[in-house]
Amino acid sequence: MLATTIVALCSSFLTKLFGKKAGWILALGPASLAIASFDLFRRMSQEGPFSSFASWLPDIGFNIAFHIDGLGLLMSMLICGIGTFILIYGGGYLKGHEYLGRFFVCIQLFLVAMVGVVFSDNIILLFIFWELTSLTSFMLIGFTHDKQESRMAALHALLVTGAGGLCLLVGLVILGLGAGTFEISEMIRNGYQVTAGPYGTAAFILIILGAFTKSAQFPFHFWLPGAMAAPTPVSAYLHSATMVKAGIFLLARFQPILSPHEWWTFTLMTFGAITMLWGAFLAIKKNDLKQILAYTTLSVLGLLTVLLAFPTPYAATAFAYVLLAHAMYKGTLFMVAGIVDHQTGTRDVTKLSGLFRSLPFTGISVALATIAMAGIIPTLSFIGKEIALEGLLKEGPAGAALATMTAMASVAFTFVALIFVWTFFANLEDKPKYKEGYPSLLIGPLCLSVLGIVLGVAFPLTQSIVHTAMVPMLGDAAYPDLALWHGINLPLMMSLGSVALGVVFFISVGKKPWSLGEESLRHLALAPRFEAVYQKTLKLALKGAGILQHGHLRYYMRTTVIGTAALVILSLVVNQIPMPETDFKTLYWHEVAVFMIIAIAAIAATMVRSRLATIACLGIIGFMIAATYVMFSAPDLAMTQVLVETLTVILFALVIYKLPAYERLSSKGTVTIDAIISIVFGAMFTLLVLASSTTRWAETISVQHGDMSWVEAYGRNVVNVILVDFRALDTMGELAVLGIAAVGVFALLKYRRKKKEPML
């Protein structure tokens, strides 16, 4: 996984190196991961789950802990397996695109982040990977960043998933504090339940919110269709096969902990069902192939949520099968939509027909994938659907209702499948108009669609995998036997019924877009509402920033100075810090002289009427401060102070050279106010220094530093030892700040010059 990260970061260069073939080569990374996942599955059945642990910040419970179990492996196989095809496909789809390298970097980073999500055991680590998927998704949706539409879609997705991510973090932390551990596997092992800890309901709601936003459940679903602005490989991968499943995965992962909450079943059932039906309903109203697929994806996500509502073996098995099957056929169909778009230039189904003649190989994969989508024997999704229906029917009246809804959704699926079939296989007598896609485009859809069928026929192969995946959710329960043919029972009848209804529906309506309640639907669209709220928030923020960030340096300084003075004086008074007894008899005359000079120079600096004089006065102050350092035997500080003062004066002189003539612009009133502020601030500082000599909370470290300097760092100059050895990391930070400041000065001055040039 680390290797893939490195490869991901380097892939921009690799792309340049290998040119057109980069996709094929980069695909080796996820392919090997997928194979590794498969191998781990085999070993896991004998050895149990794997863990690795490295503590990072143990004080706050943050450890790099990975826990590889069946559920995670099932996901990682999907992620890496489909990722392999997507990389190859993306290489072909974006062939010659100037940002191809960027695409590879983002999508591989995403892949790594996803694998991180499914394997991480520590909740903080989980959250980091989780956010990383949101971020990379943002970059990928906004890939064509010159289009307003895709920028907006990317922003919506980021805001929704980002807000969800924050909810998730808070929820997870509450959960972790309640459980006394931040390791998920430990929580589950201890049998921790969310209801046992404090604020259990809050944690429950927050985690559910995180999962729902990520998986685009109603009412957060609107970002997903918008995200279709991304290039098709991205839509196929992130917004169908993997990222949106992250939320579902999260629910599955936390099912043992969260499901004891009394709201679990109800919440998941309700929102899942709404999402399922709403997605299915909208899918059949769209003309754009990708939009259609996006809404059916929503619908499947809803179904998955519904299945998770019931922590029973039936529902869990159905969950795993639907997950697998959906990734395969939907991945295929998305890639097909991409090919169609790529080769014909449109995705509008009303304009396309008889594509099979032009795109025969694409057509084959469409045929296979649509069989799966409609849920017809002998596909994986048929098995998934049958078990789902059977499992739901066992759950009493609510389950029966949900099963009916599922059947209704699959009517829509059949309809959508028929749209695809129609696009490819109707009007075959037409002459071929388009070219077939490249091999790199075709291999993904072909392999995935064939796999969907093969695994369906050879389902016992998948059985052990799915069972291993279910162990972390439910333990070793009795899992239902699978079969392609269960005999004629209620689920089969429902399946058949929905397929038949879908066909009838399609024949009666055809591909014609139908305008039922178009107006009322527009009122229900959430994306514009969200946009409006977002714009209002932005305006408010601008106003707030406008008040605070007015751009007048003087007022910034005033605010800072007054604020600091007020706070310090307040704390001095509140804490009643004692002032030291001052005995002026111990003062030497030269000390008094130095202080007098400083005071006079300071007053003079405010009085003189030229800039140079002001700077000279400030210089005097600086040098006198250096003199005090000498008096208190700090030669290093004194030397540095002298040098800094010298350079400051030099640089100031250079600046002044360029400034306009000195003028007194401030009114009497402003000057008075400034004087008062300065005096108060000065007084505050005097008090602070005096107070600090009487107040000490901890042992001074200067003695220790002095002692250790020679013993540990072989240096006699304590100041230098502190700088380059004891506190070298701090110094490094300061160096970086210095460097950045210099670059800033450079940029400011150069920018000004550039602007001048055209005037000359």
> Which residue ranges make up the site for other proteins (CB under 8 A)?
635-636, 639-640, 643-644, 646-647, 650-651, 654-655, 658, 713-717, 719-721, 723-725, 728-729, 731-732, 735-736, 738-739, 741-743, 745-746, 749-750, 752-753
Quote the least distance from Cβ 704 to other proteins, whole Å: 17
DSSP state of 64: E
| C-beta closer to other proteins: residue 508 or 633 | 633
Is the CB of residue 279 less than 8 Å from the CB of residue 221?
A: yes
With vertex at residue 603, the alpha carbon angle to CA 601 and CA 606, rounded to the nearest 5 degrees, is 105
Give the nearest distance from C-beta 625 to other proteins in angstroms.
16
Q: Least separation, in Å, of the C-beta of 64 and other proteins?
A: 17
CB 590 within 8 A of CB 631: yes
Nearer Cβ to other proteins (631/738): 738
The DSSP line for 462-495 is HHHHHHHHHHHHH-S-PPPP--S---S-HHHHHH
Pick 578 or 635: Cβ nearer other proteins: 635
CB of 618 to other proteins, least distance (A): 17
Distance CA 751, CA 755 (A): 6
Q: Which residues contact 639 (CB under 8 A, 6 or more apart)?
A: 626
In what helix (H) or strand (E) does residue 154 lie, and over which residues does it extend?
Answer: helix 148-179
Question: What percent of the residues of the chain are helix, what percent strand, and what percent coil, each to the nearest 5?
Answer: 80, 5, 20
Closer to other proteins by CB, 504 or 651: give it: 651
Closest to other proteins by CB, 222 vs 726, is 726
| Contact residues for 291 (Cβ-Cβ < 8 A; gap 6+) | 225, 228
Collect contacts of 602-611 with beta carbons under 8 A, ≥24 apart.
606/675, 606/678, 609/662, 609/664, 610/662, 611/656, 611/659, 611/662
Q: Which CB sits closer to other proteins, 377 or 713?
A: 713
Nearest distance, CB of residue 650 and other proteins, angstroms: 5
How many Å apart are CA 187 and CA 65, to the nearest integer? Answer: 13
Residue 265 or 648: the one with the smaller Cβ distance to other proteins is 648
| Nearest distance, CB of residue 745 and other proteins, angstroms | 5
Looking at beta carbons only, is 513 or 715 nearer to other proteins?
715
**336: closest CA among 273, 396, 247, 421?**
421
Q: CB of residue 202 vs other proteins: minimum separation in angstroms?
A: 40
Which one, 404 or 640, has the nearer CB to other proteins?
640
User: From CA 326, how far away is CA 706, in angstroms rounded?
Assistant: 68
Q: Minimum distance between the CB of residue 644 and other proteins, rounded to whole angstroms?
A: 6
Which one, 582 or 646, has the nearer CB to other proteins?
646
Q: How far is CA 383 from CA 308, 315, 371, 380, 410, in A?
A: 17, 12, 13, 5, 14
Positive or negative, the CA dihedral 573, 577, 583, 587 is negative
What span, in angstroms and rounded, lies between the C-alpha atoms of 724 and 577? 35
With b for 16 or more beta-carbon neighbours within 10 A and e for fewer, the 173-209 pattern comes to: bbbbebbebbbbbbbbeeebbbeebebbeebbbbbbb
Q: How far, in Å, CA of 652 to CA of 641, rounded?
A: 16
Kindly tell me which of 501 and 713 has the beta carbon lying closer to other proteins.
713
Is the Cα dihedral 4, 9, 11, 17 positive or negative?
negative
Residues pairing with 52 in the sheet: 66
Q: How far is the CB of 606 from other proteins (least distance, A)?
A: 25
The nearer residue to other proteins, 632 or 714, going by C-beta atoms, is 714
Tell me the closest approach of the beta carbon of residue 710 to other proteins, in angstroms: 9
To other proteins, the closest distance from the beta carbon of 702 in angstroms equals 17
CA–CA separation, 157 and 141 (whole Å)? 8
In the complex, least distance from residue 732 CB atom to other proteins, rounded to whole angstroms: 5
